[in-house]
Amino acid sequence: MSSAKDEAGTGKPPMRDALVTAAFRLFLERGYEQTTVDDIVALAGVGRRSFFRYFPSKEDVVFPDHERCLADMTDFLAGGSDDDEPVGRVCDAARLVLRMYAENPTFSVQRYRLTKRVPGLRAYELSVVWRYERALAEYLRRRFAARREGTLQADVIAAAVVAAHNNALRSWLRSDGQGEASTAVDHALAYVRSAFGGAPVPPAAEQPADVVVVVARRGAPLWRVVQEIEATLGRD
Residues contributing to the site for its own copies (CB under 8 A): 122-123, 126-127, 130, 149, 151-153, 155-156, 158-160, 162-164, 166-168, 188, 191-192, 194-199, 201-202, 207-223, 225-226, 229-230, 233
Minimum separation from the CB atom of position 163 to its own copies (A): 3
Closer residue to its own copies (CB): 65 or 230: 230
Nearest to 20 by CA among 36, 3, 2, 44: 44
In this complex, which beta carbon is closest to its own copies, that of residue 78 or of residue 209? 209
Measure the CA–CA gap between 158 and 6, rounded to whole angstroms.
36
Separation CA 40–CA 19 (nearest Å) = 7
Sequence-distant (≥ 6) Cβ neighbours of residue 174 within 8 angstroms: 112
Q: Residue 109 or 168: which CB sits closer to its own copies?
A: 168
The rounded distance, in Å, linking the Cα atoms of 77 and 139 is 7
- Smallest distance from its own copies to CB 198, Å: 3
Short-list 102, 99, 94, CA closest to 189 = 94
Measured from the CB of residue 37, what is the shortest distance to its own copies in angstroms?
Answer: 21
Q: Report the nearest approach of its own copies to the CB of residue 1 (Å).
A: 26
Q: Name which of 52 and 223 has its Cβ closer to its own copies.
A: 223
How far is it, in rounded angstroms, from Cα 34 to Cα 146?
Answer: 53
